[in-house]
Amino acid sequence: MHDPFPISPPPWLVKATTPLAEYLNLSTLPIHIHELLLAALSYHIICSYVSPFFSRRLFPSIYPSLPLRSRVNWDVHVVSLVQSVVVCAVAIWVMIADEERKSMEMEERIWGYTGADGMIQAFAAGYFLWDLQICLRYLAIFGPGLLMHAVAALVVFLLGFRPFVNYYAPTFILYELSSPFLNFHWFFDKLQMTGSKPQWYNGIMLLGSFFSCRLLWGTYQSLRVYQDCWAALHFSDTYGSRVAAGLHVLKEVTHPKGILELMDPTRARAELMKYNPNPENMPLWLGLTYLGSNMMLNTLNFYWFGKMIETVKKRFRTPKEEAKAKEDGEVVDAVVEGVELDGRVVKLAADGHLMREEGMDGEVKSGKASGFEEADCETTRRKM
């Protein structure tokens, strides 16, 4: 399936990107660079301008009164909500409509390429490029865990431009199906709907979608890509000679619009493998880099799922259960840092003692904590 994006890459941008792409061996990056940059720019505009503009008007008594870090978190959640809905819808459409993708064997899943999968890679890479700069800019808010997630995800999707495991781009982007519910859960807290029925129903959908999409689907697809990578590490070149036989007739069997006639399977597969016509054994470093990043993402998903269960349960404790938890010395939340007081970021011990306080000017203090507002992370100290 050819790239369905309606805008072609500007020749000057392709020319400017080609040297870097050749140096990094990212063969298909120049023909998708415009999609990557447009995605990153769109998310920046939404975060910096669109979200603040509409949020002030839709929630005039809430959004303007939030501390700076809460407004940053609000705008980031808006971007995440928009991105997850759009990219998942496009990915599902590609998985249904791309007939070439459905016919891929191991070799094509590792080294093959379709324009539609490349577009999904570009959209995802654009989001994680934006996400990386946000995590670096606001490291005190989002922490090293989300920074590692952004780096690992960006590496995974950039490697797809070699092309490498291009087939799995829409597969793994479906992790994001749980993100709308995660974002709504956060917004319910900020809209003073903590413990409400809508948040309860959303929490059920959040845990169900996260478990289904990231843990079940994600783990299964990770095992599939591990299996394909293992086969690629021990690859025989018999496929390369078989595909090469069809390369010389590619231009002669195209429609006027450039769409390949799929009557001959050999010629069709030659089109899928046009960027890797003679595949060789997969380099060990490439497999380790990709699989290591994938494993890191899966590990974070399991870790976050446990924290999400704790957080959702604590939103709906009865006063009696809350009192018992305090008597037992239970920590109110798994993460007890990032709490705000008049624009200052503080870190609390489980007993409420102030371990560290950092002002907007970088001044660090310590002392006794009191009157603090609920933190902004998904697993944060619950408002008393």
The widest CA-to-CA distance across the chain, in whole angstroms, is 79
Query: Partners of 340 in the beta sheet?
Result: 345, 373
pLDDT band at 229 (very low <50, low <70, confident <90, very high): confident
More confident residue, 267 or 178: 178
Please report how many Cα atoms fall inside a 13 Å half-sphere around the Cα of residue 1, on the Cβ side: 22
Mean pLDDT score, 273-302? 82
Question: Do residues 348 and 356 touch, judged by C-beta distance below 8 A?
Answer: no
The per-residue pLDDT for range 82-108, each reduced to its tens digit, is 999 999 999 999 999 988 888 888 888
pTM of the model: 0.74
Q: What is the pLDDT of residue 255?
A: 41
The amino acid sitting at 357 is E
Query: For all residues of the chain together, what is the average pLDDT?
Result: 78
Q: Which of 307, 298, 304, 315 is closest to 203 using CA atoms?
A: 315
Q: How far apart are CA 242 and CA 168, in angstroms?
A: 24
More confident residue, 251 or 92: 92
Q: How far apart are CA 353 and CA 347, in angstroms?
A: 9
Q: What is the pLDDT of residue 371?
A: 32
Mean pLDDT score, 44-71? 95
The per-residue pLDDT for range 316-359, each reduced to its tens digit, is 766 666 666 555 554 433 332 333 333 444 443 333 334 444 44
Please report how many Cα atoms fall inside a 13 Å half-sphere around the Cα of residue 123, on the Cβ side: 26
Name the H helices within the chain: 11-24, 33-45, 51-58, 68-97, 99-102, 106-111, 115-137, 139-159, 169-173, 179-190, 197-210, 218-233, 238-244, 265-272, 284-315, 319-327
pLDDT band at 76 (very low <50, low <70, confident <90, very high): very high
Report the 10 Å Cβ neighbour count for 136. 12
Q: Which of 139, 96, 138, 141 is closest to 120 using CA atoms?
A: 96
Mean pLDDT score, 120-139? 95
DSSP 366: E
The percentage of residues in the chain with a pLDDT greater than 90, rounded to a whole number, is 43
